[in-house]
Every structure is written in structure tokens, then in C-alpha cells.
Structure 1
Amino acid sequence: MTGDTILDIRDLRKNFGAYQALKGVSLKVAQGEFIALVGPSGCGKTTLLKHIAGFEDPDAGALAIDGQDMLGVPAAARPTSMVFQKLALFPHMSVADNIGFPLKLRKVDAGTIAKRVRDMIELMQLKPEYLTRYPRQLSGGEQQRVALARSMISEPKLLLLDEPLSALDVKLKKVLQAELKRLHRSVGVTFVHVTHDLEEAMMLADRICVMRAGEILQVGQPNDIYYRPADEFVAGFIGDTNLLPVTVTSLDGNGAAITSPQLVARDGRLPANLVASDLKPENALLMVRPELLVPLAPGAQADFTLTARVTEIFSKGGTVQYRAELADQSPLVFELAGASSQPAHLGETLSLGFDARDIYLFQGRP
């Protein structure tokens, strides 16, 4: 993380009766950063967002925005704005009145509100004639832009997004994801985005915060989260992957040597940058992302080779995903670029190779 810290959360705790929603969460977010909170349902990401917004008070811990302590500060007095999943646009108000509503609450004069509303619809690439329409007269994507305009008009220091794109169809979601990225780049406001869509988090965020059971497991850039996960849960949660149990035969500061009955290894050594710093020899897992596995022609070699039988094929258009099983019937998934002819067929047994480049060795569960 670079830049000045705009959001500083320290050891935040929240219980709902016997249920621990937040278990000592600490997180720093830089000015102008786009951070995504991801995790399974009930992991605490929305609860954390509500604490930032001021809709929930913690049982313990500290939360500061731009160096100012926010504990006890009501939501309306915080330099934050929130976009909800259901948008919460006022159906009886015009688009102009919806967008300008936060400034009206602050008793800003009508002329200034009108100018700021015009600035916001230009930023959101909405047509001027939409100002006199009502939300029901707009498409889902246009309503989304209105909600974003309303949240941005008061120039918050933090924009909080609670799954605002989840209800949209796939094609429109892609369009608005690009718009959200453009908006963040244009205005330079810090975005904190809760999403269940892992692809969306990878596309949009500067950093991803992975949560489970009220705790933060890992915070890092998307590529780090994807290729250097902190543990087995993060590896399996962020995209499809293969986790191969291996035996560590040697381990030192230069890396590790591994062996497995499922693998044929050229030399079996991994450099230190591909080995988790806290690795212990027992219960080690080798992570191989599906796109790193390539069918090998007869006689071809790779750093590591395994043999698998194809059990299912799923075409995604641009890519094709193959589900397979190893000799011990453990599952394997690999993914290849789409083509008019398939390089592997249902029921076929083939050799797959991968290079010791983006694989990763880390600790498995006992």
C-alpha cells in the first residue's frame, strides 16, 4: 500500500449476542485506493462496511478516517457515502432531485445544487434530458449511474459500495464495471467495495481483502492473492485451482524439494519465491492454477508432468474448462484457450505439464 492512510481500522470487534461478527479486524486503506472486501456469506464484510459508514458501533477497537477518530460519530456526520445493493432511489423524486438530495439536506443553495447536479450527470455520462425523469423511467444501468451520482455529489472522502452491481445482468454488469473503474480513476476518491463476484474484485480493485468468519485472512494486490495465497482457503476461494498434496524432502532458505506419486518432476526443486515463508514439511500443498496446465505432445517435457483422465468439458467461448481426475481419482481442472477443434476429449487420458513459474507451495490443513 502506498500513499497517505485515509482509513485506519484497528482491532475492531463486534458481537451480536453469542455470534462474533468481527474478531479483531485491522486494516489500513490508502488515499485514492480501490479496495474490495470479499469472502463467503456471513464472513463480516458487510458488517465491516457498516462500521465504516457509521451504521454499526463496535464493541471494541478503533476506526479513524483521515486521521479523525470516528467512534461515536453518527453516519450523517462522517465523510463517507454509501451505494446500496438496492440503490434506494426515491421513486417520487426526479433524477435531478435524487442526485441533489444530499446537498439539499445540507441546505446548499439551489443554484449550487443545480450546477453540481449537471457536473455529476456529465461525469456519469447521463443525458441532460434524464434530469426530469423518474427512476422507474430509466434502465437498470441508468439507475445505477444515478445512485453513484447521488453518492458522489457531496464529495465524500470514502465511497462505500455494498454489492451495487449484483442484481444486474452479465452484459450490463461488465459495462458498469468499466464505468466504475473509469469513475474511480477520474475522481480519485477512495473506494471500499463489498462484492461476492471474485472476477469483479480482480478486475476493479487495487487490493483485495479476503475475509472469513469475522477475520481478515489476507490483503494484497489481485495478482498476489491469486498466485500467492496465504492459505488453502484463500487459494480455493479466489478462482478455480488445483491443490496437490506433496511431500517436502528438503527445505531451506534457497527453496524446497518436493515429491508426489502423482507428479513426474524434472528435478523437483522450487526456488524460495515459490515457497511460503511459514512452510513446514508436513501437510504441504502445491497450488497449480488451471491455466498453467498444458497438454504435452508425445516426448515433450515440462518441469512437472502428471497424467489425468478428462471427465467433463465446459465451453466458455474464449476458453474451455476441462474437469479431470488423477490416477488416485482426486479431481483436477485445467483451462485452455477456445478453438474450433478441442485438444482434449471426454474420457481421454493425457499428459499435462506445467512449469515451475507461477505455482506455489504452502501449508495445508493438518
Structure 2
Amino acid sequence: MSADISTNDICTIDGVIKNYGNFRALHGINLTVKEGEFVALVGPSGSGKSTLLQVISGFEAATEGTLTIDGEDMTNVAPADRPTSMVFQKLALFPHKTIAENIGFPLKLRKVSKAEIERRTLDMIALMQLKPEYLTRYPAQLSGGEQQRVALARSMISHPKLLLLDEPLSALDVKLKKVLQAELKRLHRSLGVTFIHVTHDLEEAMMLADHICVMKDGLLLQVGTPDDIYYRPTHKFVAEFIGETNLFPVTVENNRYVATDMAGIQGHSSFGPEAATQPQAYLMVRPEFVHMVGSGEKLDVTLDVIVSETFNRGSTTQVKAVTKDGGHLMTLEIQGHIDAQIIVGAEIRVGWRDEDTHLFDRATDTLQVAA
């Protein structure tokens, strides 16, 4: 089975509010998830992403709003009766049960026959690429990565419509995490089950998800594809949170031009007469779109900066710099090896193209216009 996204809505969240006493953890969340999608919830600690997952699973009840899964209202439906399954950060495997007993446990609760449990457990073992002899072992006898696969097998054996993942890879070392990220992508593609995945790892979200939901302080700021979130953010926080970016305070004059207070700048960015509704804004440009003068790129705006640090990343080199007046920090990303003259303290001239920039209203932090 392929994980092609259908046009059917599998999960609809409408105006969901969650209060804990006087504290509001979720502020009227509206989100629609399509069948077969891989959706990532990202945001800083306390943003509400795990709370939202708990509401979907039924472990927390919404204070207000409605939640439907596969067209059914989940308001009074217990977690065990929802077509969902959850993989927790701490896995919650039973240490006193064998791997076979752990994997088959959800079916045992549903009073499925022993023969059917055994058959589906073997299917899950094969799907997760675990050895059959592991079935008689206990969780403590397996590695961390193998335990993760067992937890995934247990969550998938009941054929849920929604698989909910609450940071299940966060405690793993970097190398093992990469392996299991690839496993998650393979499973999603092969099973066609809808995944909703909470993660602090932004690279993981960009790699795995069809759509990313960026949350902050219980608000859902933007939902979009990884490209949308990275290249077309609609909020200043999203631009800063997802990847590195350069943000400069600017003034929009005559609804047309961007004038900055940075010393040594030449040229101006033109956004057209509809450019901005407010004169005070932030100009955003990603580090990979900041080029050195002489790189062959046609640049609309250039300025002199002083190199403050360089970081070799193998295929790229990241350069940190400050404007000559010392008032603004910036980052640029250079492909391959950098010129030997680009050292700490060196003065270089850099710039960018209009089409690679965005403006955010300084009063609301929301997008004004994309070039």
C-alpha cells in the first residue's frame, strides 16, 4: 500500500480550547489532517503541541471545540475506543512481558483470537525488520533502537487510522535517530496510515512531514509544507524558529521602497505599490540567499560587513558577520570551500536579490508581502 495523500479528511479539529484552571494551553486550534498525511507538530517547550496530541488521543478532554476522526465526533469517546494509537517518548513497554506479548497486547485487550494475534505479531516483526527470535525475549534484552521498533509494532498492530507519535526518537543518539527516521518514512509510505508526530527536532520535521504545524503559546501560527514553512513563512516567529534567518529592521517609504538604517548599504528593494500597510517592518533573507559581491549573482541590495566567525560544515561554510556600524548581526551560507581571505576580522561585501526577501509588519510580526 502506498502512502499517497487522499482528499478525505481523517481528522478535523475545530476551535479546540484547553484550559488547566486559569491557564489556557490551547487557544482555539483549527486544523484539518488528510488521510495518509504525515503531519509534524513543532514549537518550543510549552507551545501546546503535546497537549494537542493528548486531546486527539482522548487522554485529555477539550474544554471547548470539537474533534472528529474519520467523520465521527470524538467528544465522549474513550481513548481505547478511538481509531488511534500512540507511541510515547518513554515507550511504556511492559518489562515483565515478552516482545510477543508486548506487541500483541492491544489485540489481547480487544479479545482477538490467539491465532490471529500470533499471525499479526509475526507480520509486525517482519515489517519492523526485527528477528523472529526476539519474540521470546524481554525489552531489557534489546537495544534502544530495537525497543523503538517494538513500540511501533505494538502501536500499528491494531491498524489505527491515526498513529500519534509524541517525540519517540528524542532520547536516541544521533546515528540511531537517523536510522529510525528513515524507518518512519518507510513505514508511512508502505502502510498509508496517517501520522501526527510531535518533535523538537526541526530537521526531523522537515525530512519526514508532508505538512508542518508551527505552534507557540497555545496558538497555531502556520500550517504548510516544509518548503512553505522554510521559504514562505507567514510570521516572524516561524521564520526565526525554522532554520536560521537574517532579520533587519527597515522602513518602507512611499509604499514602495525599503530603506534601512544600516551603514554602507547600497541600492533599495522594490516591492511594488501594494508592498506594505505599515512603514515599520522587518526584512527577512535566509543565509543561503546572502551572496558575496562577485559571486556571479545579480544583487539588488549590497552592504559591507565584517566577518566575526566561520564554521566549516563540509559541503558548506557558514559565515557570521556584523555590519560595519556594529549594529546588526547576519549569517551567510557559502557552498564549498571559502576564499582564504574570508577570515575573522576581514571586511567583505555581500547582498541579496529582491525575490529572496520577505517583509514582516513590526507591530504584528505577520507577513506583509513576499517579493
Q: TM-score normalised to the size of structure 1?
A: 0.92
The code of the aligned residue for 2:278 comes to P
CA contact 1:232–1:365 (8 Å) conserved in 2 = no
User: Structure 1: which 4+ aligned runs deviate by more than 4 Å?
Assistant: 263-267, 298-301, 340-343
Cα deviation 1:93-149 (Å, max 9, x = unaligned): 111111111111111111111111111111111122222221111111111111111
In the alignment, what sits opposite 1:315?
Answer: 312
Choose from 344, 348, 351 the match for 1:350: 348
CA contact 1:38–1:45 (8 Å) conserved in 2 = yes
The code of the aligned residue for 2:89 comes to Q
In the alignment, what sits opposite 1:5?
Answer: 9
Change (3 A) 1:292 1:97: same
The offset of 1:298, in angstroms, is 9.1
In the comparison of the two structures, how many residue pairs are matched?
358
The offset of 1:334, in angstroms, is 1.3
In structure 2, C-alpha distance between the alignment counterparts of 1:89 and 1:46, rounded to whole Å:
20
CA contact 2:307–2:321 (8 Å) conserved in 1 = yes
The code of the aligned residue for 2:305 comes to A
- Say what the alpha-carbon RMSD is for the aligned residues: 2.1
In structure 2, C-alpha distance between the alignment counterparts of 1:289 and 1:11, rounded to whole Å:
33
In structure 2, C-alpha distance between the alignment counterparts of 1:85 and 1:118, rounded to whole Å:
24
In the alignment, what sits opposite 2:207?
Answer: 203
Choose from 27, 37, 50 the match for 2:31: 27
CA contact 2:304–2:324 (8 Å) conserved in 1 = yes
CA contact 2:162–2:193 (8 Å) conserved in 1 = yes
In structure 2, C-alpha distance between the alignment counterparts of 1:272 and 1:128, rounded to whole Å:
67
Q: Percent identity?
A: 57
The offset of 1:257, in angstroms, is 2.8
The code of the aligned residue for 1:148 comes to L
Choose from 334, 339, 357 the match for 2:332: 334
Cα deviation 1:71-96 (Å, max 9, x = unaligned): 11110000000000011111111111
The offset of 1:338, in angstroms, is 4.1
In the alignment, what sits opposite 1:194?
Answer: 198
Change (3 A) 1:167 1:208: same
In the alignment, what sits opposite 1:260?
Answer: 260
In structure 1, C-alpha distance between the alignment counterparts of 2:212 and 2:36, rounded to whole Å:
15
2:164 paired with 1:160 = yes
Change (3 A) 1:99 1:293: same
Deviates more, 1:301-310 or 1:111-120: 301-310
The code of the aligned residue for 1:100 comes to G
In structure 2, C-alpha distance between the alignment counterparts of 1:154 and 1:18, rounded to whole Å:
38
CA contact 1:266–1:302 (8 Å) conserved in 2 = no
Cα deviation 1:208-246 (Å, max 9, x = unaligned): 111111111111111111111111111111111001122
In structure 2, C-alpha distance between the alignment counterparts of 1:257 and 1:35, rounded to whole Å:
38
2:232 paired with 1:228 = yes
Deviates more, 1:356-365 or 1:226-235: 356-365
Deviates more, 1:301-310 or 1:71-80: 301-310
Gaps in structure 2 of 5+ consecutive residues: 365-371
Change (3 A) 1:134 1:339: farther
SS of aligned partner of 2:307: strand
Change (3 A) 1:288 1:108: same
The offset of 1:203, in angstroms, is 0.8
CA contact 2:314–2:336 (8 Å) conserved in 1 = yes
Change (3 A) 1:120 1:298: closer
CA contact 1:301–1:353 (8 Å) conserved in 2 = no
In the alignment, what sits opposite 1:80?
Answer: 84
